[in-house]
Structure 1
Amino acid sequence: MRSFMFTRSRLSLSIAFCLSGLAVTPGAWAQETSGSEAQELDALSVTAVRGATKTETPVMETPQTVNVIDSEEWQERGAESVQRAAAYTPGVGTNQVGSSNRYDYLILRGFSGGSINNTYLDGLRVMNDGGSYSSFAIDPWFLERIEIVKGPTSVLYGQSSPGGIVALTSKRPEFESGGEVRATLGNNNQRGFAFDLTGPVDEDRRVAYRLTGLMSASDAQQDYIERERRAIAPSLTWDVTDQTSLTLLAYVQQDPEGGYHSGLPYEGTVESRNGQKIDNTFFEGEPDYDEFTRDMIMAGYDLEHDFSPAWTARQKFRYLESDVSLKQVYAYGWANDSELIRYYSGGEEDLEAITVDNQLEGSIFTGAAEHRVLVGLDYQQRDNEVVWPSGAFPSIDAFDPVYGAGPSAMYPAERNERKLKQTGLYVQDQVTLGGWHLSFGGRHDWVDIENTNQDTGVASEMDETQFTGRAGLLYQFENGVAPYLSYSTSFSPNAYVDENGDLLEPSTGKQIETGLKFQPVGTQDLYTLSVFRITQEDLATKVPNEQFYRAIGELQSQGVELEAKSHLTDNLTIQAGYAYTDVTFEKAEAYREGNQASQSPEHQLTLWTGYRFDQGVLDGARAGVGVRYVGDMQADDANTEEVPDYTLVDMALAYNFARQGLPGVTAQLNVNNLLDKEYVASCYNSLDYCYYGAEREVTASVSYRF
C-alpha cells in the first residue's frame, strides 16, 4: 500500500476539481490553479466509479447508466441535501415531498416506493427502516461524490429498488495537508458554519487524518417550524504495510429540529377551495405537539490487503445506532368548507444495525481476454424497537388558523420490534477483449424479516431466498463512442401481510437497457443516451372484497434519458438533461389498473450553464444559472387530477479574492427558485396529500481553502 500513497493524495485532489467518471466539474467553478497545475489535474482526471460494479471501472466501460455528481457541482448550486444535489440529474425525482429536507427522497426511473431506502455509503447500505421513521439523511458536506446507478442492482447489494441505488462516497483522509472553513447566512434565518481538515499525522506519511464538521439551523418555510443539525466525522487512514491499508471512519449527527414533513389537500393547494387557496407557509399542526429529533452514530472501517499486484482482499464494516422521536399533528382532508380534519402520530424508535462486506478481487487472463473477478459475501442485520402512539385533534381553519388545541382522543400506542437479517453471496466477472467489455454476475440471498407486536406477541414473518443476476455488453470505439446493452434483476421485500398475517413474498424487478455513451477523444465531456424498460412484479395488491393483500401487482416503467456535460469554451460549461418516463400499473386494483403512477412526471428537463470571468474588473468572478422543468404528473393513482407543470430558475454568483491578495477566499451567493414561484411539487397516491415546493431561498457564504 505504501507505493500508492502519492497516487491516493493526487487522486483526492483530482476529485476536488473534476467530475469523477462523467465529465469535468463546470469550469466556471474550479479552484484557481496555475497552468502547470491545471495540466496535471487534467492528466489525473478520475474516470472510474464503484457504485455499479464495486470495482474501479471507468464509466465509459460500464454497460449501465451511472450519473455522477461531484461535490464541486452541488456546492456550486448551493444544495443542502443529497436530494437537492441530484436536482439536475435526468430520471431522478427530488421533489417527492416538496420543500421537506427531513429525508432524502430520490425517485429513480419513476419508482417512488423505496425512494427513501435506496442509499448506500462507501459501498455499505445505510440501514434505514423504510417502514418506520428511522430513515436517515447524510449531510452532503461530508461527501466527495454521489453516484446514481440506474436500474436493478441486487446482484451486488441484495434487496433494492428496481429503479436503482444512490451510492455516496464520504470524504477520506489525504496525505497532503489542507482544509476549508465556511460560514453561511440566508433568508428564513439561515445560519451555519462548517470545516474540513486533513493531512498526514507522522513524518513518514503512513498515517493521515480527516476531521469534518458542520452546524446549521434555519426556520422552515412553514410557520412555527425549524431545522437544526450538528454533525462531525473523524477518520484515520493507516498504511500498515506496503500491502495493507486500514481506514477508520465515524459519523455522528444530531438533528434537534427536523423541519416540516406533511401534505395538504389537492383542493386548496392546486385548486381553490371556495375561492381560496392555502398559503404555502401554512402550518396545519400544533406548535406544542410538533417534534422531530434524530440522533445517529455510525462507526466502521475499510481494510484492504494486496496479496499480489493482481489480487486484493477487502473488508468493509459499519455499526449504526439511531434514536428518533416524533410528535406530529397532520391534516387528512376537509371537515367542512374551511376546516381540515386532523390526526396525531408519534414515534419513539431505537435502531441498531451492522453491515459487513467481504470481497476478493483479482485479474485472470484467458488468452487475449482479461477477467476482473469479484467474489463477495455480505451480511446485514437490523433491529428497530418502535413505539407508535396515535390520536385525533380538533379541526383547524386552513385560511384563518388558531392554535393551542389539545388532543380530542388518544389511542393505545403500538409497540413493535422490527428485525431484518440478510446474507448474500455474489460473483462478478468483467471481461475485456480489445474494445469489448462484457460484465455478468449472479447473487444468492437469504433474507429473514420478523416484525413482532410486543403487546400481543403476534409476529409477521418472511424467510426467503432470492437469486438475482446481471449481464451487460459494451463496445468502446477509438473515436469515443460506446454503445451498450444490459439486462439485470432485483428484489425488494413487501411491507404488507397476507390473510395469515405473514409478510408477502418480495417483489421482483427486471430491466433491459440499451444506450450510447460518447466522450470526445482528449476531452472530459460526456454525452449519454439510454433507453430502458423495467417491470416490477409481485407488488402488494388488495383484491376487491378482500381485507388482506396479495403479491400479484405489476408496475412497468419505460423511457428515455439523455445527458450532456460539456465545455463549450475554456470559460463556458453546460449541463443539460432530459428524461421521458412512463410508469404504468399493469396489474393492480381496479381503480388504478392501466393508470400512470402518481409522483412520477413523464417529462423532466434541466439545463445549467456556468461561466468563469478571467479578464478585466470581473477577473475572478463566476456566474451560473439553471432551469428545471417538470411536466405531465398525475396527482393520484386513479388519474382523476394532474399536478400542474412547473418551471424553476436557480442562480449562483461567486468571486475568488485571490486577485485581491486573499488567496483561498471565496464569496458565493445562491438563489434557488429565483422567481419565487409558488407551486405544488407532487401529490401522493390520493388527493389528500399534496406538497408545496420550496419557496425562494437565498444563501450567502464565505469560504477559505488552504
Structure 2
Amino acid sequence: MTYPRLALLAAGLILLGPVRAAQLDIQAQPLDAALAELAEATGVQLLYDADATRGKQSPALQGDYSAPQALGQLLAGSGLRYRVNNDGSITLEPAPVTESTLAPVAVNAEVATKVDTPTLETPQSISVVRRAQIEEQGSDTVQQALRYTPGVFTDQIGASKRYDYVSLRGFSDDSIDNIYLDGLKTMGDGGTFSSMQIDPYFLERVEIVKGPTSVLYGRASPGGLVNLTSKKPLFETRQELRFGVGTNDYRGVGFDFSGPVNDRVAYRLVGLADKGDTQFDHLEQERRAIMPSLTLELGDSTLLDLMAYYQDDPEGGSHSGVPAEGSLYRRNGRYIDNTFFEGEPDYEQFERTQKMLGYQLQHFIDDTWSLRQNFRYITSDVQLQQVYSYQWVGNSDRLSRFYSGADEQLDAYTVDNQARADFATGDLQHTLLIGADYQHRDVDAAWSSGAFPAIDAFDPVYGAAPTAIGDPVPHERKLIQTGVYLSDQIALDRWRFSLGGRYDWVRTANVNQDTGARSSQDEEQFSGRAGVLYRLDNGLAPYVSYSESFNPSVYTDEDGDPLEPTEGTQYETGLKYQPRDGRGLYTLSLFHIDQENLAIREPQTTVYVPIGEIRSRGVELEAQTLLTDRFRVRASYTYTDIEYTEAEPGIEGNQVNQAPRNQATAWGHYRFDQGPMAGFDLGAGVRYTEGIQADRANTREVPSYTLVDAALGYDFSHLGIQGLSARVNANNLLDKEYVASCYSLNYCYFGAERSVMATVTYQLR
C-alpha cells in the first residue's frame, strides 16, 4: 500500500478557506496522512518538508480542536514543532534538542498500551521524562532522571550508581527488575549481579507506568514499569560533541551524530566515555559505550529500525551499606563518615560488559491492519569481588566483614509480535491489538563467599587478607516465558474504554551444578485489565481502572523449593486535566494494590522467606505547566501507605521498609530571551522525603530529608557562536548529609553528597 504524499513536498499543503475549529475524528495512521486530514477539516495552510514526516506515526485524535491544538497532539513525540505565521499559515519544523516546551506533554502512552494512545486518554497513571528534562537536571543515571516523578522512589540504595533501582508505589522488592528498553524486558535480572544499565545520554525519554502491566508484558511488579526509549536515527543532519568535568575528578566526552544516508535510510551513532572517583574512599566509576542504529524505509509501507549497543564498565563504584547504629544514630558517641569504605582495595572489583542487538520491524498492510515485531538479544559478563560489612563486633568500633565473589554470564533474548487493527463497528472506534511474545534468560554463575577480618569504622586500616574463601559454586538460572495477549481500546464519542487479557506460560529453573540440586516450576496465569475514561469539553478526563500483575520467581525457600509467583491486583481512579491551550498537564490518581505470596531474602544468605501479603494505597499528584513562554514548573506529591497485611507475628500491620510515606518535589526552569541575561537559563528544584522505616519490625525510622538542586545554562548563539552551549548542574546543592534508606538495621545507605558538573556542548545542524 502507498500512502499519499503531499503534492507540494517543500511547500507543504495549501487549502483554501478560513482557519477554524473543527470536530475531528482522525485515526492513528502515518503522520503525513493525518496532517492532510487536519488541513482539510480546519482549512489551515500547513507548510513543511514532507521528508520531515516520513516514517512517523500519529495518534488517534477525536474531539473539537483548532489546528494548533490538534497539532500539539499529533506532533507529540515526532521531533517536530509548529509555528503560526503572521498570515495565519502554520509551519512545521524540527524541534531543537534543547527545546522544553509543554506542547508535547500529551505524548503517546505507547508503553502503557503498546499502541500510540495519548496519555490524556489512557485510564492509568503515566509520567514522562523527556530528553530536555534529563539534560536540564544533569541526570547521569536513570535513577536520577526520575527524581521528580510522583510515585517513584530512587534512593533505595543511596549514592550507589551501579544499578538503577526504581521503586514504584512502595514496591521495593525486585525494583531492579522493572526496567524495559524500547518496550522489551531484557534489562534486569533479580537475584544475580547481571542486571544491565543504560546511560541516559543514549535515551530520548523515559516513560513510567504506575500499577500492574502484566496484561501486555507478562511477569511484572505490581508497582509498574519504567520504559527507556533509545535515541533513533533522524532524517535531518545532527552532529553533537559534549565535554564534561565535575567533582570527584569526573571527566567525560560524548558524541551524537545522525542524518540521512539517502531519502530512505538514516543513521545515528551515539557514544561516550567517562571516568571519575566516588564519594566513597578507594572506589571509582568508569564507562565506555557506543550505540549505532539505522532506520530503513523498505518501500512506502515497511519500516525497519536496527540497533546495536556495547557498554564496558571497568569500575562499578559502590554498592554497600552500614549499620543503623552509627548512621541513623550514634555508635559509642560517634557517627560513621559518609565517605567510609568498609571493603578492601585489593579485593574490590566490579567489571561489567554488556552487548545488545535488536530491531523493530513495522509493516502497514492496509488502512486497517499493521504488523510489528520487536526483537532484542543481550549478552553480558560480570566479574565481582567485594568485602561487605554486616554487623558490629560486640561493643567495639569494629565491623564484621565477609567476602563475596561472582563470575557470571547472561544470555537473553526477547521477541514481541503484534498485529494491530483500526476499525469501526457502528459508533464504536476500535484499536485492536493481538500479540504473542517470548523471552528466554539464562545465567551461568560461579559464586563464592568467605570470611574477612573486622575493620574499625571510625579509623579504618586496610591491607587485610581473607581468613577463608570457599571454592566457587557453579549455578545455572533459567527463565522462559511465552505469552499471548489481546487488547481493545474503544472510543465512543467522549468515552474511552480499555479492555485486555493475557495468558502466560512460565518455566523457571535454578540448578546448583556442584551438588546437582535443582528447583524448577511451571506456572500458567491469566492477567486482565479494564478501564474507562471520559473526556469533558473543559479538558478534564476522569477515569477508573482495574489491572492485575503476575511475577514468577527463580528464588527458593529454606527447603530448596521454588517460591510461589507473586500476584497483584490494583484498583485506580483519577482525574487528568489539560487546558485547551496545551500549556499544562495535571493528574490526580488514587490507587489500592494488593500483592500475595511476597518473599524476602534473609541477609547474608540466598534463602528467601515467604512473609505473606502486602497492601499499598495512596495518592499521587503531578502538575506540569508553562506559566509564561519562558517559565516552566513541574511539581508532584506522593502519599503511600504500604503495609504487611499478612505476615509473621510482630510484622503484620507494619509499614514496609524502604518505602517513603510522603514525597514532594518541585522543579522550575526559566529561560531569558531578552536583555543583558539573554541566552541564560536557570533551573532550581527541591525534593522532600519522609516516613521511611528502617526495618520490617519498624523499630527505627529514617529521618526525613530535603535536598536542593540547581542548574545554570548559556546559549552562545546570543554571542554569534551558533551551536555552542554550556551548562552547570549542582545536585544536593547544600551538601546535605543524610541516610537515604535502610534494607535492615544492618544495611543503611548514605545519600549522595553534593556533586557539581559542567558540560560544554557543540551542535551542528
Shorter-normalised TM range: over 0.9
Q: 1:37, CA displacement in angstroms?
A: 6.7
Q: Deviations over 1:205-231 (max 9, x none)?
A: 111100000111110110010000000
SS at match of 1:282: coil
Q: Tell whether the 8 Å contact from 2:164 to 2:176 is kept in structure 1 after alignment.
A: yes
CA gap of 1:372–1:610, structure 2 versus 1, over 3 A, is same
What residue in structure 1 maps to residue 698 of structure 2? 639
What residue in structure 2 maps to residue 323 of structure 1? 381
What residue in structure 2 maps to residue 687 of structure 1? 745
Which of these residues, 347, 361, 373, is aligned with residue 289 of structure 1?
347
Which of these residues, 211, 219, 233, is aligned with residue 151 of structure 1?
211
What residue in structure 2 maps to residue 582 of structure 1? 641
Which of these residues, 289, 298, 302, is aligned with residue 231 of structure 1?
289
SS at match of 1:73: helix
The answer on 1:107 being equivalent to 2:152 is: no
State, as a whole percentage, how many aligned pairs show the same letter.
54
Q: Tell whether the 8 Å contact from 2:437 to 2:484 is kept in structure 1 after alignment.
A: yes
What residue in structure 1 maps to residue 479 of structure 2? 420
Which of these residues, 76, 83, 102, is aligned with residue 136 of structure 2?
76
What residue in structure 1 maps to residue 626 of structure 2? 567
SS at match of 1:262: coil
Q: Could you tell me which amino acid in structure 2 is paired with residue 345 of structure 1?
A: S
Q: Could you tell me which amino acid in structure 1 is paired with residue 152 of structure 2?
A: V
Q: 1:246, CA displacement in angstroms?
A: 1.0
CA gap of 1:227–1:150, structure 2 versus 1, over 3 A, is same
CA gap of 1:79–1:504, structure 2 versus 1, over 3 A, is same
Q: 1:502, CA displacement in angstroms?
A: 2.6
Q: 1:505, CA displacement in angstroms?
A: 2.0
Once residues 23 and 265 of structure 1 are traced to their aligned partners in structure 2, the CA distance between those partners, rounded to angstroms, is 51
Once residues 676 and 84 of structure 1 are traced to their aligned partners in structure 2, the CA distance between those partners, rounded to angstroms, is 16
CA gap of 1:434–1:603, structure 2 versus 1, over 3 A, is same
Q: Count residues with an aligned counterpart.
A: 692
Once residues 148 and 370 of structure 2 are traced to their aligned partners in structure 1, the CA distance between those partners, rounded to angstroms, is 36
Q: 1:552, CA displacement in angstroms?
A: 6.5
The answer on 1:168 being equivalent to 2:228 is: yes
Once residues 626 and 473 of structure 1 are traced to their aligned partners in structure 2, the CA distance between those partners, rounded to angstroms, is 35
Q: 1:500, CA displacement in angstroms?
A: 5.7
Q: 1:549, CA displacement in angstroms?
A: 6.8
What residue in structure 1 maps to residue 689 of structure 2? 630
Given the two structures, how large is their TM-score scaled by the length of structure 2? Answer: 0.87
SS at match of 2:452: strand
Which of these residues, 754, 757, 760, is aligned with residue 696 of structure 1?
754
CA gap of 1:32–1:115, structure 2 versus 1, over 3 A, is farther
Once residues 704 and 368 of structure 1 are traced to their aligned partners in structure 2, the CA distance between those partners, rounded to angstroms, is 52
Q: Tell whether the 8 Å contact from 1:158 to 1:491 is kept in structure 2 after alignment.
A: yes
What residue in structure 2 maps to residue 117 of structure 1? 177
Instruction: Could you tell me which runs of 5 or more consecutive residues in structure 2 were left unpaired when the two chains were aligned.
Output: 6-29, 31-49, 60-70, 96-100
The answer on 1:240 being equivalent to 2:285 is: no
SS at match of 1:124: coil
SS at match of 1:51: helix
Q: Tell whether the 8 Å contact from 2:508 to 2:553 is kept in structure 1 after alignment.
A: no
Q: 1:495, CA displacement in angstroms?
A: 4.5
Q: Tell whether the 8 Å contact from 2:356 to 2:379 is kept in structure 1 after alignment.
A: yes
The answer on 1:137 being equivalent to 2:193 is: no
Q: 1:451, CA displacement in angstroms?
A: 0.6
What residue in structure 2 maps to residue 184 of structure 1? 244
What residue in structure 1 maps to residue 45 of structure 2? none
Q: Could you tell me which amino acid in structure 2 is paired with residue 468 of structure 1?
A: S
Runs of 4 or more off by more than 3 Å in structure 1? 1-14, 19-25, 30-46, 547-552
What residue in structure 2 maps to residue 368 of structure 1? 427
**More displaced stretch, 564-573 vs 427-436:** 564-573
Which of these residues, 317, 322, 331, is aligned with residue 273 of structure 1?
331
Once residues 404 and 20 of structure 1 are traced to their aligned partners in structure 2, the CA distance between those partners, rounded to angstroms, is 62
Which of these residues, 314, 317, 330, is aligned with residue 259 of structure 1?
317
Instruction: Could you tell me which runs of 5 or more consecutive residues in structure 1 were left unpaired when the two chains were aligned.
Output: none
Q: 1:129, CA displacement in angstroms?
A: 1.8
Q: Tell whether the 8 Å contact from 1:22 to 1:59 is kept in structure 2 after alignment.
A: no
What residue in structure 2 maps to residue 614 of structure 1? 673
CA gap of 1:566–1:22, structure 2 versus 1, over 3 A, is farther
CA gap of 1:68–1:548, structure 2 versus 1, over 3 A, is closer
What residue in structure 2 maps to residue 394 of structure 1? 453
Q: Could you tell me which amino acid in structure 1 is paired with residue 311 of structure 2?
A: Q
Which of these residues, 95, 109, 115, is aligned with residue 55 of structure 1?
115
Q: Tell whether the 8 Å contact from 2:687 to 2:708 is kept in structure 1 after alignment.
A: yes
What residue in structure 2 maps to residue 661 of structure 1? 720
Which of these residues, 522, 537, 553, is aligned with residue 478 of structure 1?
537
Q: Tell whether the 8 Å contact from 1:541 to 1:589 is kept in structure 2 after alignment.
A: no
Please identify the structure whose Cα radius of gyration is greater: 2
Q: Tell whether the 8 Å contact from 1:155 to 1:442 is kept in structure 2 after alignment.
A: yes
Q: 1:310, CA displacement in angstroms?
A: 1.8
Q: Deviations over 1:579-613 (max 9, x none)?
A: 00011000112231110011101000001111111
What residue in structure 1 maps to residue 763 of structure 2? 705
Once residues 756 and 557 of structure 2 are traced to their aligned partners in structure 1, the CA distance between those partners, rounded to angstroms, is 49
Q: 1:551, CA displacement in angstroms?
A: 5.3
Q: Could you tell me which amino acid in structure 2 is paired with residue 298 of structure 1?
A: M
SS at match of 1:576: strand
CA gap of 1:267–1:617, structure 2 versus 1, over 3 A, is same
Once residues 247 and 39 of structure 1 are traced to their aligned partners in structure 2, the CA distance between those partners, rounded to angstroms, is 23
SS at match of 1:234: strand
SS at match of 1:362: strand
What residue in structure 2 maps to residue 510 of structure 1? 569
Given the two structures, how large is their TM-score scaled by the length of structure 1? Answer: 0.94
Q: Could you tell me which amino acid in structure 2 is paired with residue 152 of structure 1?
A: P
Once residues 347 and 551 of structure 2 are traced to their aligned partners in structure 1, the CA distance between those partners, rounded to angstroms, is 35
What residue in structure 2 maps to residue 340 of structure 1? 399
Once residues 626 and 648 of structure 1 are traced to their aligned partners in structure 2, the CA distance between those partners, rounded to angstroms, is 8
Once residues 696 and 370 of structure 1 are traced to their aligned partners in structure 2, the CA distance between those partners, rounded to angstroms, is 52
Q: Could you tell me which amino acid in structure 1 is paired with residue 246 of structure 2?
A: G
Once residues 568 and 315 of structure 1 are traced to their aligned partners in structure 2, the CA distance between those partners, rounded to angstroms, is 41
Which of these residues, 406, 413, 421, is aligned with residue 354 of structure 1?
413
SS at match of 2:612: strand
